[in-house]
Amino acid sequence: MEIITGKYTIKQIFKDHWPEFLEKYQKGIPDYVIENVEKILNCRDPQKLGYHKYVCEDHPDQVQVVPHSCKSRFCNSCGKIMADQWAEKAFCYLPDTPFYHITFTISDKLRSYFYLKPELRNLLFQASAETVLGWFKERGILPAIVSVLHNHGRAGNDHPHIHMLVSAGGLDLKTKEYWISQEFLPWNMLKVRWKVKLLLGLKGILPKDLKEFLFTLSWYVNVGIRLINARASIHYIGRYAKKPVIAETRIIDYDGQFVTFVYQDFRSNSEVKWTLPAEKFISLLIQHILAKQFRQIRYYGLLASRTRAKWQSFFRRWLFLKHKMRLLRWRERQIDFLKKDPLICPICGLGSFLIILEFPIQEHNAQFLTIFQPLLLESHLVLTLHILDKSHYPCRILAPPIGRKLVFSAIRQFSDKKQQRHKFS
Q: What is the pLDDT of residue 410?
A: 46
Q: Judge whether residue 417 has pLDDT over 50.
A: no
Average pLDDT over residues 17-30: 93
Close Cβ partners of 194 (under 8 Å, ≥ 6 residues apart): 104, 127, 128, 131, 219, 221
Percent of the chain with pLDDT over 70: 76
pLDDT value at position 162?
94
| pTM to 2 decimal places | 0.78
Instruction: Say whether pLDDT at 48 is over 90.
Output: no
The CB density around residue 17, as the number of other CB atoms within 10 Å, is 18
Residue predicted with more confidence, 244 or 114: 114
Give yes or no for residue 3 having a pLDDT over 60: no
pLDDT tier at 277 (50, 70, 90 boundaries)?
A: very high
Round to whole Å and give the CA distance between 224 and 214. 25
Q: Say whether pLDDT at 4 is over 80.
A: no
Report how far residue 213's alpha carbon sits from residue 85's, in angstroms, rounded to the nearest whole number.
Answer: 43
Residues 357-366: pLDDT tens digits?
Answer: 665 644 433 3
Query: 140 pLDDT exceeds 90?
Result: yes
pLDDT given for residue 376 in this prediction: 34
Which pLDDT does position 33 carry in this prediction? 93
Separation of CA 220 from chain center: 26
SS3 per-residue string spanning the chain: CCCCCCCCCHHHHHHHHHHHHHHHHHHHCCHHHHHHHHHHHHCCCHHHHCEEEEECCCCCCCEEEEECCCCCCCCHHHHHHHHHHHHHHHHHHCECCCEEEEEECCCCCCHHHHHHCHHHHHHHHHHHHHHHHHHHHCCCEECEEEEEEEEECCCCCEEEEEEEEEECEEEECCCCCCEEECCCCCHHHHHHHHHHHHHHHCCCCCCHHHHHHHHHCCCCEEECCCECCCHHHHHHHHHHHHCCCCCHHHEEEECCCEEEEEEECCCCCCEEEEEEEHHHHHHHHHCCCCCCCCCCEEEEECCCHHHHHHCHHHHHHHHECCCCCCCCCHHHHHHHHHCCCCCECCCCCCECEEEEEEEEECCEEEEEEEEECCCCCCCCCCEEEEECCCEEEEECCCCCHHHHHHHHHHHHHHHHHHHHHHHCC
Cβ 246 vs Cβ 285: under 8 Å? yes
From CA 248, how far away is CA 6, in angstroms rounded? 5
Residues 6+ apart with CB under 8 A from 197: 126, 127, 130, 131
> What's the pLDDT score for residue 359?
57
**What is the pLDDT, as a whole number, of residue 23?**
93
Q: Identify the pLDDT of residue 393.
A: 37
Give the least confident one: 150-154, 242-246, 338-342, 367-371.
Answer: 367-371
| Range with lowest mean pLDDT among 57-61, 93-97, 133-137, 147-151 | 93-97
pLDDT in tens, 341-351: 888 888 888 77
Distance, CA of 191 to CA of 127 (rounded, Å)? 11
- 224-276: per-residue pLDDT in tens? 877 776 677 777 677 667 777 888 889 999 999 999 999 988 777 889 999 99
Query: How far apart (Å, rounded) are the C-alpha atoms in residues 68 and 46?
Result: 7
Determine phi and psi for 152, rounding to 5 degrees.
Answer: -145, 160
CA distance 1 to 358: 20
pLDDT more than 90, % of the chain: 31
pLDDT of the residue at 321: 52
Determine the Cα angle at 194 with ends 297 and 140, to 5°.
80
Tell whether the model's pLDDT for residue 367 goes beyond 50.
no
Highest mean pLDDT among 18-32, 87-101, 300-314, 376-390: 18-32
Asked if residue 374 has pLDDT above 80, the reply is: no
| Mean pLDDT, residues 34-47 | 90
pLDDT of residue 398 exceeding 60, the answer is no
Give me the pLDDT at residue 252, please.
93
Instruction: Read off the pLDDT band of 377 (50, 70, 90).
Output: very low
Q: Is the pLDDT of residue 403 over 60?
A: no
Backbone angles phi, psi at 397, to 5 degrees: -110, 125
Whether the Cβ atoms of residue 172 and residue 179 lie closer than 8 Å to each other: yes
- Mean pLDDT score across all residues of the chain: 78
